[in-house]
Structure 1
Amino acid sequence: MKVFGFYKSKKYLQRVLISIMLSLVIVLMASTLANTYILEKSVKSIQEESNLKVLTQFQYNFSYMNEVITHLSYFVIKDNLLIPLMFDDMLPKMDLIRGYQRMTNIMESSSFLHSMAIYNHSQNEIYGTTSNFLLDGGVTKKKIRDWLLDPSQPHLTSRLIPVNLEKEDGQIDTFAFIVTDSFKPFSSHESAIIFYIKSDWVFDSLKKMNVRSNRDQGDLLIADREGRLYSSKINNTYVNEVNSLRIQQMITSSNGDLKRPSGFVIGDIAGVKSMVTYLEDPIPDWTILYIQSYEKLMEDVTKTRVKSFGISGVFLLMAIGLSIWLSYKLYHPIEDMLKRIRDHTTGKSQPGLLEGDEFDVMSERYLKLSEKLHEISSEQIVNKYYIRKFLTDSQMYSHHDIVNLIEKHNLHISVRHEIRVCVLRIDHFMTYDRNTTASTKKMYSFAIVNIAQEIMIKAYPCEAVEVWGDHVVLIVSMCGSSTNAVSEQVVHLIREIQLTIGHYYGLSLSCGISDKISQLDHLSAGYTQALNNSLYKIIFGYRSIITTDAIKENLTNSLVSIPDIIERKLSEALKKGQMTEAGIELEKAFSLVTKFNYDDIHRAVNNLAWVIKNTALEIMDNRVSKFALNMDYIHHIPQEKETLEEMYLTLLSLCAKIIEGQRPGTTERNDLILETMKELIHQKYSDVNLGQQSIALTVKLSSAYIGKLFKESFKMTITEYINEVRLRHAQILLESGNHTVLEIMEKCGYSNPSYFFRLFKAKFGSTPKEYRMKKSIS
């Protein structure tokens, strides 16, 4: 009973179950019926095609048989021994004997002939060959005469006519074939030969087919033009006037106006549902019928249908069980929701006792809750509006006006005690804003406001409100304790708020706390101070709690920028690849920055970023190959990072990349510079102005740098190397040319003869003239 009561109370679940089960029943039953219908239709179509093939074969046998008998009749009617029996008025005895003998020979030569008779019009006499005809006292003769000369039923010639020659039960035992001199219907005014064909010969082909199929599928019948039925079977149940009329009506109704020569119909014959296949005109005015029991014909289909319904029933039971299980699984959230609704409403009535289903119950509860929520939210909207106005535009109100509004709206703000404003700012806000949906942001803001107010109000009257998307403001009334003790308690509660929000929502909050506020109309100033204090998390880091005392040194500091010497040393250390020196200078810079005002901090760090960027660009300009470094990102670092620690580590890492990027190309770069310098000296040695300074300008490096580099590489100064090159060229010209010493001096880049002579003598041990004279003598 409990289970039934549980089910009865779940009206929506009832509809779900009933709908699913009815759908399953309808689909499975429709599928089964469609399959069995298609199967039955296919079997009927196949059976019709098979039956028509049988009847077509039988039609062919009839046509062939009729052709054989026609050829025999043409031969017999012209037989000279039979002509006297047909036409003589006075028949001699010998002609009669010869005629009978001839008929006997014809009978013996044709296996399909049952008997044979000749009608002599002149004598009005019939001559026959069978023993019954001759010995039964004229009974057979009279039957032939009555049938042949019946004026009400003229017979067509040269075609098979079903007759009962010997049987008295109406069943055919022969087919008559009348032959005359003309092709007109037979009349008593002309002579004729009558052949009687065995009926077994006619039906033999179908019997053989039935034997080959290993089962008797039906009955073969022949209908004449009047609709009378003839069968080879004795006591065939279909051969009577009622069934003949019924079959004729079925075929006529099926054909309609089309008059199809073949086809099949299904209907009740003799109280049995039967399938009748028909084929017209195998011989003119005949119709061959093949009648089969529909029940036997569809026996396999019936068995298949029973099996199909059985299998469908099993699957239906399984599907119903599975649907009930799934329905209860899917219904489980709805049931949980109903339980929660009942737990949070005053009424404890069961859903089943109310009008409608579970959703009507939830709708009713929702409407009631939404009405209450609307009342509460309307009041809260007004309250939050005034709180925001107090924080942003308190100077617009007098102290008395603010007191009246607080009392009117029952705000948790004390009008007799000091107040502190706390700003809770979301850390990593750019990432939070970029990766959080609008609906989730609303949920987080709602959670922070309510949790912060709930925790703080345990110790002090408090109002919480979201002013902007990145921070929440608490107005805390400092009731009860001394100022220091109160401050410590507020810090403790703020820390609890941070831990709670971090644990449940994974958000990090930093907090700025204002100084005490004695006048309510100074709330805007307190909010601005708390908001500015919260910005100094750039120094203290994430989840910091910042008071004015903590940043007093920053607010009073007169230093606003980093000394140029630190920036210069940092740049030189980067150019020289000295990571330790670069790190020391960067650390000095950030040590000074931590004492700056907030605005000056950003400006100083931004300047540092530009110094590093410009140094990196200068280094890259002096390199053959560039190192992979995104220069555009450097000056965005102060805006993207929220703390000095993050900025310091990012810039330090950047310096390391710059120095590391120089090392693979240092040797290559120095070699290239040295080779360039040597090439310049060899090309411009004749230039009087060639010197270390001019070479430095050409390679765009400092004179001191290239002088030091050249000295370290070749163990001589650039000036010494220039003199070496000039003196070698002067030596060559003295040995091979006809130039004067002064001309050689000018060609080698010297303008002072005494300086040239002194250098030459120091190099070769004699003056230029003495050197030429020695070489000419030798």
Structure 2
Amino acid sequence: MKFIISKNKLSIYKKLLISFIGSIITLILVLSSLLFYNYTSSTTNMVKDMNVNILSKISYSTVHMDNLAKNFIQSLSLNNQIISFANNNHEDILTISSAIRTLGALTIPNTYIHSAYVYNRTIDTFIATPNDTFYNSSEFFDQDLITLLNRAAEGQKVQNLYPIPRQIANADGSHTSYTNVYTYILFDAIGEDNFTNAIILNVDADWLRLTISALDKKMSSKDSNIMILDDNGNVVSDPSPNKFMDNMLDQSFIHKILDSTESSGSLIDQVQNNKVLVSYVSSDTLKWKFLSITPYDTVFSSVNRNTFITIIFCLIVMLLGVIFAILASRKLYQPIGRLTYRIKQKWNPQDNPDKISDEFSFLSNAFEGMMDHAKLLETLKRESTPLLKTNYLKNVITGHITPSLEAFNAKEPEFHIDVNFDHKLFLFLLKIDHFQAFTSKFNEKDRALYMYGIANIAREATSKHYHVEVIETGADQITVLADLTSTPEGHDVYEQFQRIAADIQRHTEHFFKINLSITLGYVIESADQIKHIYDDTVMLSMYRMTLGHGSIITPDVLQEIHQSALVLPAAKSKQLIDALKLGNGDAAKEAYRDIIRAAEHASYDHMISTIIYLSFTIYQSLHHIVDGAQSKLNSISLGFLNHVTALETLAEIETTFFELFDEIIVLKNGAKDKKKNEIVNTAIQIIHESYRDKNLSLTSCAESLNLSSVYLGKLFRSTTGKSVAEYIVNVRMEQMKYYLEETNLQINEILDNCGIEKSNYFYTTFKKYFGVSLTEYRLKIVKTNQNHHSM
């Protein structure tokens, strides 16, 4: 169809085209700028938060090290043998020997300890590990410690039970001259300036450095550098041991961090002319600063890459937008042209069609479309009211909104809320048991339907007695708010809601085959208590861990909780590790049960801390429990850590720990069999190489292998079916057979070559082995050779 195109029409087309292109370019520039700014900000904040999180965990590790060291040194101060030596007024070799043995026995199991000393100032004598001997102070290899003790004796301040970073000279025979340690000194009760004895513990700085390195590798970028500084700017831990005790005050950012009153933070500065992001966390316990130094280029490498990608993408979108603008402008203009042509066809010839404004027709059509769109939006709004109501109630419960009477009156007509926030309310929670299995069994859509069905069951069961609102407040959690206005005075609220909870559990299990744990919270007296009560109820629901699945949890459970601080079970965990080292799975399981029994009546936080501590202790000790098979150990430990975090009850956690113990025992038994085979093969090699030695025996083989002869004898017989002596005789007899048949040596020479002494025992053994006497065997050989030559 042809139609007239006037100048006005051309101007409209140009305006449309320019508007489209301008809008597209402006939109792309604004969105790309916002995207770049948000991505840069989020990347920086993410790295800062990640670094601060890592440093907080490392700070916890150092505080844990500090607690271990303090507890250990204080335990030494209570040991009878140690105190007997420390307070002795004369040198008693029996007292000293007993104290040395005790000190060595106590320090050896603790891998974080480098050495420990006990100093008796009265007799000027030290006892020390790891060489387990005693010294006069003038002969003591750690003269730096002597200086510290002399300063304390002179009244100068020497911190008691505080880690002092220093380098100590190693005792003779060590492969290194110095070791980096943190020294703890415990003076006796008389006082530092007039002490009579002191107990000194040197914690190996490499133990803390390796612990930090393990956390850093798992959680941070490979280019980050973690270091710890004391309040004087000295390095007390660094990935490079050579930087230990280096002073960092020449770096400007160190002064900023040391002068900061904030417990944590981040800053950007220059280090060796390189721009870096420095995050830090302070430790109130140790007065140390924990620093993470990340190259700025590492942080923003992904930003730069995405900037380039964004620019290319924007250019492509802009090009496509220009093409679209041209096509869209033409497309939009065509209806206007057709409409204008039709209108002009209806005008009388004497009328001037140029007076008709094309813009009015276009705007009229556009306005009608907008009205239709507004009606559609109104319809969508009515359909989305339940979702908006749920979001509003969720914000009220979680504290994002504090409802007032005015706000409630404004929202009630729109949402038809069935509870009044000015009345007394009761809050309880429904939690899906075995949630991990639930999520793996059903997709997201099905899970939403099940949650909707459970919410309806909760609403029906509660609405028989109260006005109620049911809100989904988590992926596995539903919150129920009941209005207590209709509750009679003196009525036991918890008794009523226990019946309601049991009813909800029964119907949910019947219709959906899903188990629920229900937590009955507290009465809400006023609207400003809602968030506090919700948070307390959520925390109360965590005690499903001890009560188990399908439980109805009430605040009464808190009365059985011991509020005193729970001491981490270091002794029991060591007992557990020792049992695993010995391959005794039953003892390990019993030790685990003792640990959990001690923790199950503590608070939820203490229970979780105990389980995390136990998991970390087992993980740290795996390579000590089983030698070799590192890849298999890593697979077992990582699978365990991934699984245990999703468990909901102590029973599930116990099962998972026991499965871990069983896998470790199996792996350990396999390693033992491999070691036994290596020992037997080495013994056989020794026999074949040394059969000429007349002194070769079980005892000599055991000495070569640094084993007891009894153990080697049992191991050799169980593996080969023969004793070592029988195997030596067999080897020697086979060699004698070779010399008799292949050489013309005299019998005495053959015996010497085979390591055999000429005796009646030899002749008896020969006849038993070959079935004939030596003379008969030689005649047989001569006869065989004659027959061979005659042929």
**TM-score greater than 0.5 by the shorter chain:** no
The normalised TM-score by structure 1 is 0.37
The normalised TM-score by structure 2 is 0.36
